Amino acid sequence: MERINRWRSHGGWQEVWRHDSQATGTPMEFSVFLPDGEGPKPVVWFLSGLTCTWANVTEKGEYRAACARHGIILVAPDTSPRGEDVPDDAEGAYDFGLGAGFYVDATMKPYARNYQMRSYIERELPALVAAQFPADMGRQGIMGHSMGGHGALTVGLRNPGRFRSVSAFAPIVAPTHCPWGQKALGGYLGSDPAGWAEYDACRLIESGARLPALKVDQGAADGFLDSQLMPDRLQAACAQAGQPLELALHEGYDHSYYFISSFMAAHLDWHAMHLA
C-alpha cells in the first residue's frame, strides 16, 4: 500500500492510502483517521452513498473530534472500482456503475470483472487494515449513508459476530422494492429477484439475521424518503423479528451532509459505548 496524503487534525492523523485490489482488479483508495495514543484501537467503517468517494465523508463528515475523543479509527472506502477500463452505466447515470457499486459482488458481464465490492469490503480491505494499522478487529462497528447505509446494514447482517454496532443515515433498507435498488441489483446480479435477497436488509432480517445494536437516523425532509428509503419497512421488519432498532426521524433535515454532519458525533458516541 502507498500513503498518498496525510494531514494533522484533532490530535490525530487523517491519511489517504492507495493499493492494488485483488478483488476489483483495480487500484483502490480509502481514507483512515488515526487518533493519537497507543493501540490497538476500535475501528468504525463508514460506507458512502451514490456518486461519492472516500473524500465526501472525509471532507464533510465532521467525525474527527469524536473519533479522537473516543480513540476510534475510522476507515472510509470508495464506493466502486475506478479506472478507464472499468465499465460504467451506458447512459452515464449517477445511480449505476462508477460511484454506485452498491456493495455487491456482481455476476453479470461486463461488471463481474471489477464490481466485487462485497468481497472488497468484507474480506480484502479489513485484512489490509488489520495488517497496517493499530486496529482492534475484535471491536468493530460499521455505519453508512444512503447506498452506504444499505451496505452497512447488509454487511453487518451477513457477518454475525463481526460488528458490535451498526448504524446508518437515511439508508436504502429495501432495495428489492425501490428504483435505485432494482436498477442496481438487476444490472449487477441479473433479472431474477431470487438472487437479490442477500443484499436486502429487510429480507435478511425476515430470514433470521440479527444485529446486536442498530441505530438509524432519517431526515423528515429527505426527498427520497418515500420513494427510495422506506424506513417504515425496516421498522416493520425489526418489530416482527424482535430486532432492536433505534430509529429517529428528524424534522427539517434532508439527504445531504448537512444532515449527516449534524448527527455524526452522536453516532460515534453510540458506537463508542458498544465498542468499549
Element (H, E) at 46: strand 41-47
In this structure, what DSSP letter does residue 32 have?
E
Which cell is 268 given? 460515534
Which segments of 133-256 does DSSP mark as H helices, in order? 147-158, 179-189, 201-206, 231-241
Q: Quick one: cell of 163?
A: 460488528
| Cα separation of the two ends of the chain | 30
Q: Which of 80, 222, 267, 271 is catalytic?
A: 222
- Find the length of the chain: 276
Question: Is 146 marked active-site?
Answer: yes
Burial (CB count within 10 angstroms: exposed 0-12, middle 13-18, buried 19+), residue 123: middle
What phi and psi, each to the nearest 5 degrees, are found at residue 25? 70, 20
Catalytic residue among 146, 165, 217, 271: 146
Q: Respond yes or no: is residue 31 known to be catalytic.
A: no
Measured distance CA(147)–CA(101) in Å, rounded: 9
What would the DSSP string read from start to end of 101-139? -TT-B--STTGGGT-BHHHIIIIIHHHHHHHHS-EEEEE
222 is known as an active-site residue = yes
Q: How far apart are CA 182 and CA 35, in angstroms?
A: 39
Catalytic residue among 145, 150, 255, 271: 255
Q: Annotated catalytic sites, by residue?
A: 146, 222, 255
